[in-house]
Structure 1
Amino acid sequence: MAPQQVTLAQKDRKAFQDLLSCYELKQLTRGRKVADQILKKYPDHGETMCMKGLILVHLGQRDEGIKLIRDGMRKDLTSHICWHVWALVQKGEHKYEEALKSYMQALRFDKDNFNIVRETSVLQAQTRAYEALVESRLHMLRLRPNVRAHWVGLAVAYKLSGNLVEAKHVLEHFQGFLREAPVNDAEYSEFILFHVRVLEDLGDLQAALALLDKKSKDRYVVDRTAIHTFRARILSKLKNSNTESPQAAEWDTRAESEWRALLDLNSECTDYYHAVLANQGIDLGSLDDDSRTQALGLLSEFSAHSPKAYAPRRLALTVAEGDKFKELVKPYIEAGLSKGIPSLFSDLKKLYADPFKRQVIEEIVEDIRASSPSEPAEYLWTLYFLAQHYSFLDRHRKALDILNLAVEHTPTLPEIYMMKAKVLKRAGDPYGAVRSMDEARALDGQDRFINTKSGKYRLRAGMVDEAEEILGLFTRKGAATPGADLTEMQALHYLVEVGDAYNRTGKLNLALKKYYAVQKVFESFREDQYDFHQYSIRKTILLPYLDMLKWEDEVHSHPAYVHAVVSAALIWIELYDDPLLGKSLQPSHETTESSKKALSKAKKAARRGNDPSLRWRIFSTVSNQSDDKGLDAPPPKDDDPDGVKMILADDPLERAAKFLETFKECGKHIMDVCLTNFDVAIRRKKYMQAAQALVRAHAVDAQHPEVHLRVVQFGKTGESFMAYFSVSSLSDSIGSAVKSVLHETLIALKPEEISLDVFTSQYLQSHSTSSTVILACAKASEILGNPMKDIESLLFTSLQDNIELPVEDALRILSYLQRIKSTRAEEFRIACDNKFEFSTVFKSSDQQAALRQQCLLEEKEDCEDIETL
């Protein structure tokens, strides 16, 4: 039976109201005393118990407070106050879905409580429950119809839910009873632009244009760039959707004028040039001779109008072909070299996708070099460009020879040594790259960029501790370690690089810790948006708010997040495939002791108090709007700093699957995500999920080597699966359904009449010069049970001269040979060591240890030189 609700006497109800007031005014100590007085008389009053528990949470006694709240809820499950208190605690723990359920329970017992309705609407926006958000915003408007923000919030809710018609009606109704609209007011200007956007998205283009013209003429819209952008975009849509209209010519002229006005405001924005050309009916994605000539004519006109602008001249290089390209690219390159623009190669690199353009650029720059420019600076930057050019084409010997000439010419330019480091890195010499980057750092020891690159190259060479020393030159001095400060500052590039460094050196436990740190950064992105749901409506920052929501919905497709999740999932798969691997990774006693010392140092740093330079707070303005300060759950204590307990977990596949679930919709078109989802699902015997993941990967790139490998693996697994079901005691309906899906998936991925062996042979023949295909087919041969001798022979064909074999692919093949315990692995390593002239990654372990030691000694000498300077 439910406990009987305790009713307070009239005098004690006033005391309870005083308790609520104390909490709202943050008079927590007094509120606790009032709660104690009530509970002394009514020890089973659930609402008072919950309020006292909430105060205790604010006062830092979290565990005691939460226990008291739970006890109070059991005493009175029909109280909106109890459910409201519990929702606040859940929200502080960032359990937004659970908090929303609690708020809905609170509304069951007090449906017109404005505070609860408002907080419910914020959580609905946070969890993207847009249909329910509309109902909450409507409720808020009915309760307080005279507040502007509630009308704006309802219109935004309709927009988010996709009901543009109702959003339009709300906006029009609101403007209808607005007495005096302020002129040159930023908030009202944003409201007008949002109204225009709703009309535009609804397809009512003429109404959108009329509203924009009227309000901008009356000086209600203050953002001049936005006026031109909206007007140009709407006019272009009107012209394209109403080509037979008598006004089409007028709209065309006006759109052209608006786009050109935007170019006058920013002549370097390539989007504006694309829009101008599109307005003329020119699609740069599909050009014929006539449209190409027309596009070049317009771009030439823009270049003449804005002679200092690079964008139209650079865009013309993308459009031009043949002799016209030669005519345009030569003065562009000459101007860049004479001005000494270091990023000139990066600017032109995209043109290298066209072999003709690549060859033309090489000939022009070589001619400039041969002519020995009278300006020494121009000659130096010509050498610098050529070194980047040949390095990009994997002609490392020539790139290094040119860089040596550049050093002889000007030995004090850091960019030369940095480029040499890049060449050596690409050639497979990470230690030489570190030494060269140190030479650049010695020339300018205070340059933050060079020091950061130096730290990155150390990480690439597996020198994690040494990298942290370099990066520590520019991190907070009060931090426990440079890495701890960079983690706190959410430096994604550092977290990914150090995670990869640990992964390459076999320290999978530490790699997992860094990859999960990346996940925490993106979790904080999700949490940081919370305060903006109410703040943006109140301040009428509407279009940026919609852009933020869109960005948040797609944030998990960020390359750093994708890389971290996929890498972590692959480690979990590796630990599942080899259960003994986790036990072998347990750190030694010395490592554990060092971790304890680092943890002790961190605690001492925390006790010293907050450093003013701890962080820059992006959200300081909006954070003050939250009513729930003090409820945030403290960060959990990390009792596994080395990740030892993590790698010893008995559910690696479940952890991998849970990590991959964070992608949801945004990962369906990312190849690595699809492949990793397949790898996890096939091991968990989730064959339907594996089929779906493989079909998605096949849709992204049917000829991808890893897709072919998974098709073979899926086909082989399907054969075993069907054989199992033929003798299984499971129901025929389950077996038939799954077998049908497997069969249909295989038919969609490969011809039914072709065996997996023939399928692999045909794929190899059609991609015979690709080392990645050779490796994939070798793995497929292993799955099909072919002899080790055949697999080894296939892999050794990658060493032939007609095969494209980058250093990275050679390392993967060597790693695979070692994994399958091939007796020819050492032979392949020696062959690669001879094949790659500058590479050191194929040296023996002893040789690499000597190279590392030499690198450390030289680094120490360089650091002493820098300190002397």
Structure 2
Amino acid sequence: MGAGLPAKESNLFKLIVKSYETKQYKKGLKAADSILKKFPTHGETMSMKGLILNCMDRKAEAYELVRQGLKNDLKSHVCWHVYGLLYRSDREYKEAIKCYRNALRIDPENIEILRDLSLLQAQMRDLAGFVETRQKLLTLKPNQRMNWIGFTVAHHLNSNPRQAAEVLEAYEKTLEEDYPPENERYEHSEMLLYKISLLDECGDPERALDEVNKKAAKIVDKIALKEQCASLLLKLGRSEEAEATYQSLLAANPDNYRYYEGFQNCLGLSLESGKHSPENVNKLSSLYKSLYEQYPWSSAAKRIPLDFLEDDDFRNAVDIYARPLLSKGVPSLFSDLRPLYDHPGKADILENLMIEIESSLEKSGSFPGSSLKESPSTLLWVLFFLAQHYDLRGKHDIALGKIDDAISHTPTVIDLYLVKGRILKHAGDLTAAATLADEARSMDLADRYINSECVKRMLQADQVEMAEKTAVLFTKDGDQHNNLYDMQCMWYELASGESYFRQGSLGRALKKFLAVEKHYADMKEDQFDFHSYCLRKMTLRAYVQMLKFQDRLHSFPFFQKAAVGAIRCYLKLYDSPPKVAVEEEAGFMSLPSSERKKIRAKQRKLEARAKKEAEEKAKEGEAANVAATKSGKRGSQHSKVVDLDPDGEKLIQVEDPLAEATKYLGLLQAHSGQCLETHLLAFELNMRKAKILLTLQAVKRQLRVDPNDQEVHRCLIRFFNMVDSLPPPETPAEKLVHGVIEIERPSLGVPHGKPLLEVNESFLDRHRDSLVHRAAAAEMLFLLSPEKKAEAITIIENSVNNITPRGGVLGGAREWKLKNCIAVHKLLETTFHDPVAASRWRLHCADMFPFSTYFKGVKSSAVLGSVNSKICGNEDNGHLGKSHNETVDVLSNSVNGNAIDLKGLNISAPEESLQTC
């Protein structure tokens, strides 16, 4: 470093490097300027000065200096290394790797550059390169533990656990017999457990078990050691020893479900084809009786049998399980038993049991068959359970009756109002649901969960402004947007994005969806520091798990929803570009070339000025905050990030919306290929791009995921209708595409010579009992033969609302869903353009869904005089209409003072408002 400089300047250069490492940037700049006064073309000094400027948020100057320094000294590994560091700070990892490789060509044994390169290779999952770089580091510095561990992990990540285990064994041979010292016991223990897991992963459980027996004394984490030992014994078929190990684990933690599962496997009582055989059920029943006798305080020992018991055995077991929880008033009982509703017949047993308990409590105040008097609150929680039960089964009238009875019984329980709001949401009255949630929130202003639930209901009802005012009550200094973004509050961003999308505000919707995508990018970036930290601290098992988690990061539901929302926004922008933009573009293109250049230059100047002003304001705020902190007045100023595009106007001014949508579709296809919606969006996108083979690929993948879905049928008919309308192929490429489609036709259910009308008719015959399938068939009939519009509408109107048999999963629930009926109504209005038929459908559905505001049902808040309209304050302007604004005022005033005591704001709603609910 500092090549070509005299001694004095060489020492100054070392000072620059030290100042950069210790973050003394002003000192480093001063030293750099001193050198550049005498040697203005010294490349390494220019590069280091640029690196320091980059740390001071002067990126433009930094890049200019570093590039100039590199031009002045292309053969300096320092210049290339600094250029790589600059790219790394901007997350341009591919470019940074190129720079590091150029630096290594000049200085192939530079430890720092090799280490930095290995970190980037791990980040980018260049696993072959990662192994190669780590091997070089180990060769150069074999006396450093971190190099051995890094080489081991590199092999493991590169799908070579056997080689990784061999490297660890070679490292162990270099250690002394009395290793580890006291201060490294935990790190060495983690390394040994990691080695055991490697041996297990490479298919050698016997060797892994030998390692357990040899090194057990040096392993500190005894629970992890026992878990690994039990798993290995089970794999080796030593069931009795594995059983004893699992028993000791259960004695330590009798509520760990994984231990029960392992214990069952030891006894050969594992699942067969997703369920237990009758013989196994009897054995399991006896097993869990004995386990419950051993661990009577264990909730898992009582809950697990409910999954495999049937009929009377199930009824008795769930009765024993539920009674103490009802007596204690555990609100989560229904959530706990909710998975049982997926088992045929168990929902009916639960319903009959709870009705029997309700009747007994009302008559005698005790459980059936018991003489002990129960607390009056027990009946409340039975009603609470039944309300949620009937809500799940689609019987909203009965559900509301039960929850109203519970509220009359004890009107001060907040959970009752939340559940009533949830029932109204499912019944279709989103406005009343939001009002009930707000009422629950006003009863306990210090509860953040209830506040969040209220915000979610408001957003579902498209009350965005009110939701923002409510959310701001629990954010720092009332800064709602920045604070929620910094907290990565993705549920809020998704809910508000969906609300904006429904309201047609695409800019704001896109801003929210892209904010979620940015959070995932930040999560991916956050792993960078762990590549060196975990190797240093020897948390190897957790490190590998974290990397595997990162590899499937984009498969999580929040990202899927955000990506789907963003793609839909871009598709809508493509179909209906913003009118203002279209008009401006038309007027702009009609101007002479010289005028257009002037206007563009003026726009660039205005944007630059606005950006500069925003940056200056941000710097002023930061300086004021620093000054306030120094003067001891912390909290008096708060620097805020200035949002230059709060409404997302710039986001919707994209030149190619389909290109933007393609970016997110690629991530969905890579990580959510099992999701049907991914391929539906791929179809819509490629249809608009006229990519015929990609559209065909999307249809094939849809059929692979769910061949009976109505949306898949729509895509199939639309695709072949488009293909059949194309002119005869002329060019070789067109003929090739046409030939591929003709080959694929039979496999897609559209044989040669079979008209699409017949394909559509056969689809309708297979699904005559389903409303959504009939609607899809009717829509495709209208697409193929517009003159058959009346026949298509008749197909929809002749749909019969079948009832699921009592033995079914939902047992008597309505087959028609509210969202499907709404979709059919929109179809009649927008696609068929038949207001008369749409009106008939609305009237029909208003009777079927009396709480639906969309269909203006008689019991919804949309109809004056209904119960829900009174709840929402549409008539008497009661407490429920006032509580929100009053609460906002109370907390807004309190938020201005830094020491706000939220626990002291536990305000109960007035009796008058509770009677209204």
TM-score past 0.5 threshold: yes
Say if 1:601 and 1:827 are closer, same or farther in 2 by CA, change over 3 A.
farther
Q: Mean Cα displacement is larger for which, 58-67 or 138-147?
A: 58-67
Instruction: Indicate conservation of the 8 Å contact 1:478/1:611, yes or no.
Output: no
Q: Mean Cα displacement is larger for which, 452-461 or 120-129?
A: 452-461
Instruction: Indicate conservation of the 8 Å contact 2:240/2:266, yes or no.
Output: no
Aligned-pair distance for 1:164? Answer: 2.0
Aligned-pair distance for 1:166? Answer: 1.8
Find the aligned partners of 1:551 and 1:817 in 2 and give their Cα distance. 45
Map of 1:236-635 to 2, 5 A cutoff?
236-239=234-237, 251-284=238-271, 285-371=274-360, 372=362, 373-374=365-366, 375=374, 376-477=376-477, 479=479, 482-579=480-577, 609=625
Instruction: Indicate conservation of the 8 Å contact 1:509/1:585, yes or no.
Output: no
Q: Mean Cα displacement is larger for which, 68-77 or 338-347?
A: 68-77
Aligned-pair distance for 1:146? Answer: 0.7
Find the aligned partners of 2:354 and 2:173 in 1 and give their Cα distance. 66
Aligned counterpart, 1:811: 822
- Alignment of 1:201 with 2:212, yes or no, is no
Q: Mean Cα displacement is larger for which, 187-196 or 76-85?
A: 76-85
Secondary structure at the residue paired with 1:649?
Answer: coil
Letter of the structure 1 residue corresponding to residue 191 of structure 2? F
> After superposition, what is the alpha-carbon deviation per residue over 1:59-94, rounded to whole angstroms, capped at 9, x for unaligned?
332211211112222333332212111111111111
> After superposition, what is the alpha-carbon deviation per residue over 1:454-504, rounded to whole angstroms, capped at 9, x for unaligned?
11111111111111222222111152xx23311111011111111111112
Of 32, 36, 42, 1:35 maps to 32
Letter of the structure 2 residue corresponding to residue 410 of structure 1? T
Find the aligned partners of 2:694 and 2:626 in 1 and give their Cα distance. 48
Say if 1:83 and 1:211 are closer, same or farther in 2 by CA, change over 3 A.
same
Aligned-pair distance for 1:230? Answer: 0.4
Find the aligned partners of 1:513 and 1:798 in 2 and give their Cα distance. 40
Instruction: Indicate conservation of the 8 Å contact 1:424/1:430, yes or no.
Output: yes
Aligned counterpart, 2:666: 661
Secondary structure at the residue paired with 2:574?
Answer: helix
Instruction: Indicate conservation of the 8 Å contact 1:47/1:72, yes or no.
Output: yes
Letter of the structure 2 residue corresponding to residue 861 of structure 1? K
- Unaligned ranges ≥5, structure 2: 367-373, 585-609, 630-638, 804-813, 891-904, 908-917
Aligned counterpart, 1:643: 648
Secondary structure at the residue paired with 1:538?
Answer: helix
Aligned-pair distance for 1:151? Answer: 0.5
Aligned-pair distance for 1:207? Answer: 1.2
> After superposition, what is the alpha-carbon deviation per residue over 1:665-687, rounded to whole angstroms, capped at 9, x for unaligned?
32211222222122212221223
> After superposition, what is the alpha-carbon deviation per residue over 1:230-250, rounded to whole angstroms, capped at 9, x for unaligned?
0011111111xxxxxxxxxxx
Aligned counterpart, 1:619: none
Find the aligned partners of 2:256 and 2:729 in 1 and give their Cα distance. 66
Find the aligned partners of 2:138 and 2:333 in 1 and give their Cα distance. 57
Aligned-pair distance for 1:16? Answer: 4.0
Aligned counterpart, 2:910: none
Aligned counterpart, 2:747: 748
> After superposition, what is the alpha-carbon deviation per residue over 1:180-229, rounded to whole angstroms, capped at 9, x for unaligned?
3227711111100110011111112111111112211x2x1111210111
Say if 1:537 and 1:502 are closer, same or farther in 2 by CA, change over 3 A.
same
Find the aligned partners of 1:446 and 1:42 in 2 and give their Cα distance. 64
Of 717, 729, 739, 1:712 maps to 717
Aligned counterpart, 1:629: none
Say if 1:133 and 1:186 are closer, same or farther in 2 by CA, change over 3 A.
same
Instruction: Indicate conservation of the 8 Å contact 1:149/1:538, yes or no.
Output: yes
Aligned counterpart, 2:155: 158
Q: Mean Cα displacement is larger for which, 801-810 or 75-84?
A: 801-810
Letter of the structure 2 residue corresponding to residue 825 of structure 1? A
Aligned counterpart, 1:825: 838
Aligned-pair distance for 1:608? Answer: 5.2
Aligned-pair distance for 1:858? Answer: 5.0
Letter of the structure 1 residue corresponding to residue 522 of structure 2? S
Find the aligned partners of 1:435 and 1:294 in 2 and give their Cα distance. 51
- Unaligned ranges ≥5, structure 1: 240-250, 587-594, 614-633
Instruction: Indicate conservation of the 8 Å contact 2:873/2:881, yes or no.
Output: no
Aligned counterpart, 1:626: none
- Alignment of 1:841 with 2:854, yes or no, is yes
Aligned-pair distance for 1:600? Answer: 12
Say if 1:260 and 1:795 are closer, same or farther in 2 by CA, change over 3 A.
same
Map of 1:757-796 to 2, 5 A cutoff?
757-787=757-787, 788-796=789-797
Aligned counterpart, 2:702: 697
Find the aligned partners of 2:824 and 2:581 in 1 and give their Cα distance. 26
Instruction: Indicate conservation of the 8 Å contact 1:49/1:72, yes or no.
Output: yes
Say if 1:346 and 1:585 are closer, same or farther in 2 by CA, change over 3 A.
farther
Say if 1:308 and 1:35 are closer, same or farther in 2 by CA, change over 3 A.
same
Instruction: Indicate conservation of the 8 Å contact 2:676/2:702, yes or no.
Output: yes
Say if 1:17 and 1:347 are closer, same or farther in 2 by CA, change over 3 A.
closer
Say if 1:581 and 1:199 are closer, same or farther in 2 by CA, change over 3 A.
farther
Find the aligned partners of 2:493 and 2:440 in 1 and give their Cα distance. 24
Letter of the structure 2 residue corresponding to residue 210 of structure 1? D
Find the aligned partners of 1:759 and 1:308 in 2 and give their Cα distance. 60
Instruction: Indicate conservation of the 8 Å contact 1:508/1:585, yes or no.
Output: no
Instruction: Indicate conservation of the 8 Å contact 1:507/1:585, yes or no.
Output: no
Secondary structure at the residue paired with 2:874?
Answer: helix
Instruction: Indicate conservation of the 8 Å contact 1:48/1:72, yes or no.
Output: yes
Secondary structure at the residue paired with 2:488?
Answer: coil
Q: Mean Cα displacement is larger for which, 136-145 or 768-777?
A: 768-777
TM-score between both structures, scaled by the size of structure 1: 0.88
> After superposition, what is the alpha-carbon deviation per residue over 1:822-850, rounded to whole angstroms, capped at 9, x for unaligned?
33334433433333111112349x99599
Secondary structure at the residue paired with 1:307?
Answer: coil
Letter of the structure 1 residue corresponding to residue 834 of structure 2? S
Q: RMSD across aligned C-alpha pairs, in angstroms? A: 3.2
Aligned-pair distance for 1:424? Answer: 0.7
TM-score between both structures, scaled by the size of structure 2: 0.83
Aligned-pair distance for 1:696? Answer: 2.6
Aligned counterpart, 1:621: none
> After superposition, what is the alpha-carbon deviation per residue over 1:260-297, rounded to whole angstroms, capped at 9, x for unaligned?
22222222222222222122222222322112222222
Map of 1:183-202 to 2, 5 A cutoff?
185-202=185-202
> After superposition, what is the alpha-carbon deviation per residue over 1:100-157, rounded to whole angstroms, capped at 9, x for unaligned?
2221121111111110000000000000111110111111111111111110111011
Find the aligned partners of 1:29 and 1:20 in 2 and give their Cα distance. 12
Find the aligned partners of 1:93 and 1:610 in 2 and give their Cα distance. 26
Q: Mean Cα displacement is larger for which, 445-454 or 752-761?
A: 752-761
Find the aligned partners of 1:532 and 1:715 in 2 and give their Cα distance. 51
Letter of the structure 2 residue corresponding to residue 569 of structure 1? I
Aligned-pair distance for 1:379? Answer: 1.0
Instruction: Indicate conservation of the 8 Å contact 1:235/1:255, yes or no.
Output: yes
Say if 1:848 and 1:330 are closer, same or farther in 2 by CA, change over 3 A.
closer
Say if 1:403 and 1:794 are closer, same or farther in 2 by CA, change over 3 A.
same
